[in-house]
Each structure stands twice: as structure tokens, then as C-alpha cells.
Structure 1
Amino acid sequence: MLNYHHLRYFREVAHEGNLTRAAERMNVSQSALSTQIKQLEERLGHPLFERVGRRLELTEIGRITLDHADRIFATGQELVATLDRSAQSVPPLRVGALSTLSRNFQIRFLAPVLGRKDVDLTLRSGNEDVLLAALKSLNLDVVLATEPPRNAAGADFVAHKLDEQAVGIHGKSERLNHPTLRGLLVKEAFIVPTESSIRAGFVGLAEGLGVTPRIVADVDDMAMVRLLAREGAGLAVVPSVVVADELRANRLASAPFALDIMERFYAITIRRSFPHPLLETLLKA
């Protein structure tokens, strides 16, 4: 087994770069500290330092070991902060989001904690199964999605509805000059996110009007939907929050037709005795 006492001594010396100063900081003798590091090197089977002048420099194995040591002890501090509700420090906030979710919406959700010096953020994107598995194993604190969990068996998930927005058609203003929605659907090309409710709703709407829309791009990244619409590759079928910056700057415009398609936004959590202390603030905001 790895001796974490040895690992702690190694970490202090690695950050200090000097055996004598590290021994003084830790209130141990230099020989005892040197012995502890030698025992760690024997356990790992590799030298961790090489001497350059008066300074100790990490070997390649030493740098790898230090990276792991920093994460191990940071996790320990996070554990203490999580369980000690009176602690001043705030554990890192770990947020997952579907890869198709609007980046603008994610920023709005995180707005109350952005810029806070006491909050570290970890952001992950992926598909529903991967993110919910991470939430269930407590590797994430919250998952942002567009629908409640479909595969919730065996997990105590809670879906908090945050918002809902109408889906519209957005693009270059010169491409929106059609008198009817049907005429727009017949003449123009469309960029559609692979997110199920939007795509299914759009295709169903077109079929109801007797049109097979020309979809030039199925995209699983909302940021790419924005870019393609800005470049004039087609008209984007998305909620306005996705292209909010472009609409404000008049780089894109919105078609004056109601699609009767709604996009809903959820924050999915799991019932925990020790939820992240900032979750309630974010959900209320």
C-alpha cells in the first residue's frame, strides 16, 4: 500500500524545492524527511528528484507523482469542507450539461457564482447516460438538461424546472423575407440541433404543412448552430437564448412565425444528505 504520510512529505519538498526549508516548515529533521522520501521512491520504484546545484528538481516521474499528490490532498480538503457545514471554504462546484445545451443558458445558470474567488468550477459536457451516471456516483453536483431523466431507475433524481422558451427560426435577415411560414420552409435551408424535442417538433410542424424541410446540418453543439447561422449556412431552429448575442448585435434576426415548439430547461440533482452549499442559491436564482 502507498504510504500517504510519505506522499505528504514529498509534496512539501516538491513545492518548496529545498529539503532544508521543507524540514523547517514541517518541524522535522532533514535526515528524517530525506528518509521518508527515499522510502517513497523505493515503493514507487523510481527516483523523484535530481539535484541541480543547491536545488532539488523533479524528475518526470516526480512531476507525475506531484500531480497526483496535489489532487489527492485537494480531494481530502474537499471532503472536510463538504462534511463541515460550518466551514468557511466552499467545495468545488461540479456541473454537467448536455452537449446540446445552449452555452448562453449555462452562463445564466452559473451567473450567481461566476467571479466569486471562493468558488472553483468544474464543467463537463456529454450525453444523458454519462452525466446521470456521474451524478449518481456523486462525481457531479448538478446536471443541466432539456428534459427530466428518462433512465431514472434505481436513482433518486430530482428534476427542477428552471425555464422554458419558445423555439423560433433565426438567421440572416435577408433570408427571412417570406410572407408565410410554409413559404419559408419550402425555400430555405435549416440548421437543426439533434436535441430530440426541437428536431421532432420542427419535422412534425413541417409535415403538417406538407413540406419536407431541407436540413443542411444536424448539430449536437449549440455553439456550432450559432456559428453556422452567423455564416449564413442556413436558418437556425433554436430558442432565442442560443443566439441572444447575435440578435442584440443585429447579426441575426428572428422570423415572425410562431412554431408552437417549447424548449424546457431543467437542473437535475440527486437527493443527498450533504448537497453542495451553493445549489439552493443557483436553483432559486
Structure 2
Amino acid sequence: MEGWINYHHLLYFWMVAKEGSMAEAAKRLRVSQPTISTQIRTLERALDVQLFDRSGRRLVLTEVGQVAFRYAEDIFSLGREMVDVLHQRPTGRPLRMVVGVTYVIPKLVAYRLLMPAMSLPEGLHVVCREDRFDRLLGQLSRHELDLVLSDVPLGPEISVKAYNHLLGTSGMTFFAAPALAAKYRRAFPGSLDGAPFLLPLPGSSARRELDRWFDKQGLRPEVVGQFDDSALLKVFGQRGVGVFAGPSVIEKEIKHDYGVRVVGRTDAIQERFYAITVARRLEHPGVVAISDSAKTTLFG
């Protein structure tokens, strides 16, 4: 029947992907390696895709193979759960939530947003995937994610059918290693003119707001580094390479975790954070917990 797959073949693929080699999978399944090889080739022909690449003696999942593996994981996990339920055994299976986090979202903000969901009394298993905004939207459109955490909303020019849920806004705090902070704290913000500065890559909301604010203040800092990873940016700032900015809502955590000091603050820059979902109304308990906590605690 068109659209159906052979789950026996899928089982062999899943086991090879888990074990990393046909030899190990053959031992687990108690079959010969040629049998597994034949079954996987049959599956690839049926799906019209290549599931593995070879790296030395090991098999490595292709990009489409990784997608297939995630579905196989869910399929066989549900199968085990079905058997447990039929025999009235407790499944111990928590609710699952898959979250996409864009690179530019500060890790501390992501942590503060996700913790209320992970603390739900009924239990929640959270899977976090970090990637570029466009790639995460593609995964969201294929229902591989429950939500995307982003600093920019989904624009009308993007064809993905999804909805923006504003979680909150934050002013901006400027940080630096202690010696640099002492130097540039005086006469802030004018002291930032010519100061070594670490910036997010162009395209992020924070970068646009910072550039706009610099222009309005007539400031021309010396850009010594640009990053798409917020944590790496902070590590360079921690080492005294330059001044950097972060959301004021996590000012305390940034100071504590990176040993930096405050150079100055401004509310003229407002960084926004969004949860993007395919549903107009938030229904997943984990997503609801994220939204409620963000609005009442983190940004409240």
C-alpha cells in the first residue's frame, strides 16, 4: 500500500543507527550482517532516500537519516509503551516537549524560560535543539518541534503557517571584565565611543537595536568580534576582549556566571523574546508553563 513502510526494515535501520555499526546491530538482533544490509537497502529504496554515509568503519546518519531516526525512536518507544499499558504495567513516560532555540537567545534566558516547564508536577521530558532561525522554522512546519524560542517574530514574508506569542521584553545592560568595566563605566554611555565591543551577528534583533542606539547616541565603538553564539560572545567578554551587552532581566546571572561587572544600562533598547508555535492558542502544558512564567516572573 502506498505510503506504508515495512516496520521490520525500520527496526533494523533503528538498531544500526543506535549501535553505530551493522556488526553491533547484528549481535543485538541475532541475525547476520548481510541480512541487515539487505533490509536497510530495501528500506532506502522504498523511501527513495540515503539513510547512512560511511565514515571509516562506522556508519553515520545522513541529514534525512537523522529525521528518520527520530521518528523511529518515537515509533518503537510507543510500541514498548503499548505493551506496558496492555499488561497494566506503569510506563513512567513523561510528557515530551521539543524546543528549538535560536543561537542568539542567551543561554541563561533559555534556561529561565524552560525551567518552569521542566518543573511541572506531572513531569516533562524536554528536548532542546539549537540552530538558525530559518532551519528551526522548517522543523516547526514539519511538526518536529513544539515551539521555537526566538528574539525575532515570524514575519509576513515567511510562508510557514505559525503564530508569534510575545513572552516579554527587557532593557539592555552593558558588561565587561572588571578592569574594562572600571575604565568605561565613567561617563557612560559616551565612554563607549571607540571602546572595544563584542556584538551579535547582523540580523538578530539585539544587533539591530544596538546599532540603532549607537547611531542615536552618536557612538562608534570599535567592533572587535561578532558572534552568532551568545555564550561564546560572553566568554570573550569574560576574558577582557571587549564590552558586550545582555538582557537586563539576567544581569545578576551574567555577573555571577562570567565574573564581569556592569558598565551601564539603558531601557532605550528593548530586546523582545517570542515563542513561535503552529497553534494560535497555547495548549501544550509545557508551552503554557513557559508563557505564564515568562509573563509573570521573568519579564513581569
Using structure 2 for the length normalisation, give the TM-score: 0.66
1:136 is the counterpart of 2:141? yes
Asked if structure 2 preserves the Cα contact closer than 8 Å seen for 1:8 and 1:69, the reply is no
Q: CA deviation at 1:272?
A: 7.9
What amino acid is the match of 1:258?
T
Map of 1:278 onto structure 2: 286
> In 2, distance between residues paired with 1:188 and 1:61?
49
Aligned residue pairs: how many?
250
> In 2, distance between residues paired with 1:68 and 1:220?
25
> In 2, distance between residues paired with 1:254 and 1:224?
19
Q: Given the superposition, is the C-alpha separation of residues 38 and 275 from structure 1 closer, same or farther in structure 2, using an over 3 Å criterion?
A: farther
Map of 1:89 onto structure 2: 93
Q: CA deviation at 1:241?
A: 5.0
> In 1, distance between residues paired with 2:273 and 2:25?
46
2:187 to 157, 163, 180: 180
- Between the aligned residues of both structures, percent identity stands at 23
Map of 1:126 onto structure 2: 131
Partner-residue secondary structure (3-state), 1:123: strand
> In 1, distance between residues paired with 2:257 and 2:11?
53
**Matches for 1:1-285 after TM superposition, within 5 Å:** 3-5=6-8, 17=28, 43-44=39-40, 73-76=72-75, 89-90=93-94, 92-114=96-118, 119-151=124-156, 153-177=158-182, 178-194=185-201, 196-241=204-249, 244-248=252-256, 251-258=259-266, 260-271=268-279, 276-285=284-293
> In 1, distance between residues paired with 2:210 and 2:10?
57
Any gaps of 5 or more consecutive residues in structure 1?
A: 20-33, 47-59, 82-86
> In 2, distance between residues paired with 1:187 and 1:9?
61
Any gaps of 5 or more consecutive residues in structure 2?
A: 16-23, 43-56, 82-90, 294-300
Q: CA RMSD in A?
A: 4.2
> In 2, distance between residues paired with 1:108 and 1:130?
23
Q: CA deviation at 1:77?
A: 5.2
Q: Given the superposition, is the C-alpha separation of residues 187 and 39 from structure 1 closer, same or farther in structure 2, using an over 3 Å criterion?
A: closer
Asked if structure 2 preserves the Cα contact closer than 8 Å seen for 1:161 and 1:265, the reply is yes
Asked if structure 1 preserves the Cα contact closer than 8 Å seen for 2:177 and 2:260, the reply is yes
> In 2, distance between residues paired with 1:121 and 1:242?
22
1:112-145 superposed Cα distances (whole Å, 9 cap, x missing partner): 3447895433222222211111101101110000
> In 1, distance between residues paired with 2:76 and 2:283?
16
1:229-284 superposed Cα distances (whole Å, 9 cap, x missing partner): 11000111221356643413682111234251011111111128996453223322
Partner-residue secondary structure (3-state), 2:164: strand
What amino acid is the match of 2:155?
R
Q: CA deviation at 1:201?
A: 2.6
1:34-83 superposed Cα distances (whole Å, 9 cap, x missing partner): 79x9976654579xxxxxxxxxxxxx89999xx999755432256789xx
> In 2, distance between residues paired with 1:210 and 1:45?
63
> In 2, distance between residues paired with 1:257 and 1:115?
32
1:145-180 superposed Cα distances (whole Å, 9 cap, x missing partner): 012112564443121111211112111233234432
